Structure 1
Amino acid sequence: MAAHGTDRQIDNIEFAVADIGRSKAFYGQAFGWSFTEYGPTYCEFTDGRITGGLTTEGQVRPGGPLVILYADDLAGAQARLEELGARIVRPVFAFPGGRRFHFQDPDGYELAVWSAG
């Protein structure tokens, strides 16, 4: 997540994987994605249009990746989500490039919001 996104838009998709090397080989060969390493537990990918991540930090979730939205105001986005009934399932944490938190929507889908600031 090298550059910040556009406020309140989907900015990133993250796959929790068991083996980053295996996933890089699979998606690189299948779709021509390119990769940027950010340490042993995180690798960013791009398909030339959207970026995403492969991470071993988290539980593998068959059935879907983690959708990540960008917010100029992370605290404001969290407050707005909580007012709307979202449940925060992972409090704000820092990572190289910014900070983020995870929440569940009313149907139980887990999403994340990040900010560069």
Structure 2
Amino acid sequence: MMPESHKINYIEMPSQDLAQTKTFFSSVFNWQFVDYGDSYTALEEAGIDGGFYLADTCMRADAGSALVVLYSNQLEETRDAVRAAGGQIIKPIFDFPGGRRFHFTCPSGNEFAVWSEPATGAGHVS
């Protein structure tokens, strides 16, 4: 399949520890990786093409970085999996127009968000 002209096609993100990054995202999100040398790994099964490059920096929205937002149909389960795999929740689940989401940092310090549809019915737990 040919990439579409003028569409976002690839995203590259920093990683302070590629092995740890691969373990985290494989465990939580079921992503697969293909290594290209010691300082780059490409994403597979992530919904978009991209990869992680070895770097001392990290991406944080408060520092002006773009925010990568993932989708989950089980928001609380995904939050719990992020915690269990060593991620830090930096914004607990909150409502926003169109749904609910939380923000986390992976072990390399990169900020991501995960969103889901609005909760239905009373009694959902955040």
Question: Which TM-score applies when normalising by structure 1?
Answer: 0.48
The structure with higher relative contact order (CA 8 Å, sep 6+) is 1
Greater gyration radius = 2
Higher share in strand: 1
Question: Which TM-score applies when normalising by structure 2?
Answer: 0.45
